[in-house]
Amino acid sequence: MLFPLSLLLLSFNLTAPRNSVASPFTQLINALAILWAGLMTASGCMALTAIDMATTHGDVAAISLLFSLQNSVGGAVEMQGGLWTLLATYQLHKKQSLHWFVRLTGYTAGLAGIATLLPGSDIFQALFGITQLCWFFAVGFAALKASP
């Protein structure tokens, strides 16, 4: 639950309007963040249920089904996270509020996440995970540095 909540806080803070009305683009970014956070929460709950079933019941067919569902919701295909990262990076790029390397990392993570839709995309899954983790840390440090 920590990552989905952190994602929502980050998304809402990155897209906070300077005036009282958020643009449709920032509303889209926040809607994608809400959807992604929901998918991650559902995926985590399914994985925990499968682990519980494995340790208490040993029902292989049910465990296999739950892990398949968990992977399809958010354990293997990172299209939702890639799209959110791509759009959030573009929004920050428009504001010119990040170093060029952080923007490059965000664009790389976003495209790698979307590329996980391709068959045999293990390399894109790894690239997405690593670059997005770096991007989150860099954005967090930039926000801390910019805060008064």
pLDDT recorded at residue 148: 67
Calpha distance 73→108 (Å, rounded): 22
pLDDT recorded at residue 134: 95
Contact (Cβ atoms closer than 8 angstroms) between residue 76 and residue 82: no
3-state class (DSSP) for residue 49: helix
Q: Is the pLDDT of residue 71 over 70?
A: no
Q: What is the pLDDT of residues 72-90, one digit of tens each?
A: 666 667 888 999 999 999 9
Calpha distance 45→52 (Å, rounded): 10
Sequence ranges of the domains in the chain: 2-146
pTM across the whole model: 0.81
